[in-house]
Amino acid sequence: MTHMSHSALATRSRHHPAFLGLTAAIGLSLAFAAAPARADSLASEPVGILPGGTVVQQYTMTNANGVIVRFLSLGGCITEIDTPDRNGNFADIVLGYHDLAGYDSNGTYFGAIVGRYANRIAKGTFTLDGETYHLPINNGVNSLHGGTVGFNTQIWRVTPKPVSDGVAASLTYTSPDGQDGYPGSLNVTVTYTLTDSNALRIDYEATTDKPTVVNLTNHSYFNLRGNGSGSALDELVQINADFYTPTDATQIPTGAIEPVAGTPMDFRKLTPIDARIRAPFQQLILAQGYDHNWVLNKPRPNALTYAAKAYDPETGRILLVFTTEPGVQLYTSNFLNGSLIGSSNTVYRQGEGFTFETQHFPDSPNHPNFPTTELKPGQTFHSVTIFRFSTDG
C-alpha cells in the first residue's frame, strides 16, 4: 500500500469500528508514522466501510510545489485542496464532511462528481425522441443533480494516469440503462490532473448506447480564507458573463436569457459576493441568495475560455476558472444552516463557501433554445474545467 496521508477525514475514520475491523482483516498498521508526501505522487488509503460492506479509498495527489488534492472513490468527492497564501502558509480551501457518513449521504454534494444531469430538471420530466422520461423528485417538485442514486453516491474505479506535468488519476463508472429514470447505459470517465503550475484540471468524457441527456460538473464549495474560517461572502468574484438564466419560484429557468447589466447579477467586474446579496431583487429572494446559472461569454461553442475568478484580500489567494462549458452556477451555500459539523471541526452556516459549477444550463432538455445536452450512440461527450490556484504575492 502507498504511504498514508494525514487528512482529518482519514484520522477520524481510522477510529471507526468498521475501519478497525478492516485493518484487522487486512493487517494494516494503525501507527501512521509518516513519510512526507512525495512530489508528483498519487497515494491511497482505505478510510472506512459503507453499510453494504464497500471499502472507500481516499486518494492524495501532491504536486511539485506541495499543493495537495484529496478525493474519495465514493462519488469522486474532493475532500481537501491545500494551497498556499501570499506568505506561503498552506490551508484547505474547500468545505467537507466531518466523517465518511456525510459523504455517503452527501445532501450538500460537497466536492462530488454530479450527474447524470447536474442541476435541476423541472418536475423530473423530459422528452427525448418522442419518449417521455420520469426522474426521481428530490428537490421540491423537481429532480436535482441526477436523482436519488446520482453519481455522487457511486463508487468510482480509480487508476493512476501518467502525465508529463504533475499527477493524474482517472475515475470510471458505468451508469446502467434506466438508473434514476435516465435512458442508456452511460460509460463515464472523469480525470483529475493536478499540474505543477498549481491547477486542478477536470476532464469529463461519456458515451452511451441509447440517446440520453448528460450534464456533468464538480460541486466543490470554496472558501479561499480556509475551511472553517467563517463566511466567504466578503470574498470577491468575477464572472465572465453578460447574461444569466432567471428562474421561477422552484429555481427552474423560465427559458429567458436576460442581461446582468443593472442588476445584482452583474459580476463582470471583481465584486464582493455580499455587495448586493441583500438587495430586494426577486431572483435573490427566490433562491435565498445566489444560486443561478450565468451564460458565459464564448467566442464559439466548446471553446476553453476564462469563466470566473475569486479573490480573498486577506490571504491573497486567487482562484481562476476556465471551462469549455457554456454556463457556470454560482451558489452561495444558502442552505447550510448550522446543522452539520464540517471537516474543519466547526459548524457550517449560510455563506460558508461558494461553488463555481461549470455546466450546461439547468433544465436544458425542456428548453430548445438552450445549448443541447443530448448525447447519441457513436458520440462522445467531452468537457474540460480548470481551477487554477495562485496568490497576489
Strand spans (E) along 274-352: 291-296, 305-311, 317-323, 327-331, 337-341, 347-349
The pLDDT of residue 319 is 99
18: pLDDT strictly greater than 60: no
Distances from the Cα of 153 to the Cα of 116, 133, 368, angstroms = 11, 21, 30
> Is residue 237 scored above 60 in pLDDT?
yes
The string of pLDDT tens digits covering residues 368-382 is 999 999 999 999 999
Q: What DSSP designation does 247 have?
A: B
Backbone phi, then psi, for 123, in 5-degree steps?
Answer: 55, 20
Amino acid making up residue 134 = H
Reported as a single tens digit per residue, the pLDDT across 124-134 is 999 999 999 99
Let me know if residue 358 belongs to a domain. yes
How far, in Å, are 28, 80, 155, 227 from residue 11 at the CA level? 14, 14, 21, 17
Cell of 250: 422552484
Residue ranges of alpha helices (H) inside 54-152 are: 100-105
Catalytic residue status for 16: no
Question: pLDDT for 177-216, tens place per residue?
Answer: 999 999 999 999 999 999 999 999 999 999 999 999 999 9
Q: How far apart are CA 129 and CA 382, in angstroms?
A: 22
Cα separation, 196 vs 54, whole angstroms: 33
Reply yes or no on whether the pLDDT at 20 is more than 90.
Answer: no
- What confidence score (pLDDT) does residue 393 get? 87
CA separation for the pair 115, 372 (Å, rounded): 16
Give the cell for residue 118: 447536474
Q: What is the pLDDT of residue 9?
A: 54
Distance CA 318, CA 304 (A): 19
Domain contains 315: yes
Strand (E) or helix (H) holding 172: strand 167-175
How high is the pLDDT of residue 360? 98
Q: Quick check: 106 and 92 in contact, CB under 8 A?
A: no
pLDDT of residue 26: 30
Q: What is the mean pLDDT of the chain?
A: 92
CATH code at 279? 2.70.98.10
Q: What does the pLDDT read at residue 39?
A: 85
Does the structure show a pLDDT above 80 at 17?
A: no
91-116 average pLDDT score? 95
pLDDT for the residue 321? 99
Q: What is the pLDDT of residue 38?
A: 73
306-323 pLDDT, tens digit each = 999 999 999 999 999 999
12-38 mean pLDDT: 37
Query: To 5 degrees, how large is the angle CA 200–CA 171–CA 63?
Result: 35
Structure letter (DSSP) for residue 301: T
Question: What's the number of domains the chain is made of?
Answer: 1
* Residue 95 CB partners (closer than 8 Å, separation 6+): 110, 111, 220, 221, 222, 223, 227, 333, 342, 343, 344, 348, 352, 353
- Residue 11's pLDDT is 42
Cα 204 versus chain centre, distance: 12
* Residue 219 is among the residues annotated as catalytic for this protein: yes
In the predicted structure, residue 10 carries a pLDDT above the cut 80: no
Enter the C-alpha cell of residue 72: 474519495
Residue 23 has pLDDT above 60, yes or no: no
Residue 50: inside a domain: no
The rounded radius of gyration (Å) of the Cα atoms in the chain is 20
In a domain, 18, yes or no: no
Contact call for residues 83 and 90 (beta carbons, < 8 A): yes
Average pLDDT over residues 319-339: 98
Cα 146 to Cα 388: distance, rounded to the nearest angstrom: 27
Structural domain boundaries, residue 296: 217-391
- Residue 59 included in any domain: no
pLDDT digits (tens, 9 = 90+) for 340-364: 999 999 999 999 999 999 999 999 9
User: Which pLDDT tens digit goes with each residue over 28-78?
Assistant: 222 222 344 678 999 999 999 999 999 999 999 999 999 999 999 999 999
Q: Which of 98, 145, 219, 292 is catalytic?
A: 219
**Which residue in 45, 325, 357, 360 is the catalytic one?**
357
Cα dist. 195→94, 99, 221, 389 in Å?
18, 28, 20, 10
Q: pLDDT, tens digit, for every residue of 266-307?
A: 999 999 999 999 999 999 999 999 999 999 999 999 999 999
In a domain, 145, yes or no: no
User: CA 69, CA 243: separation in Å to the nearest integer?
Assistant: 33
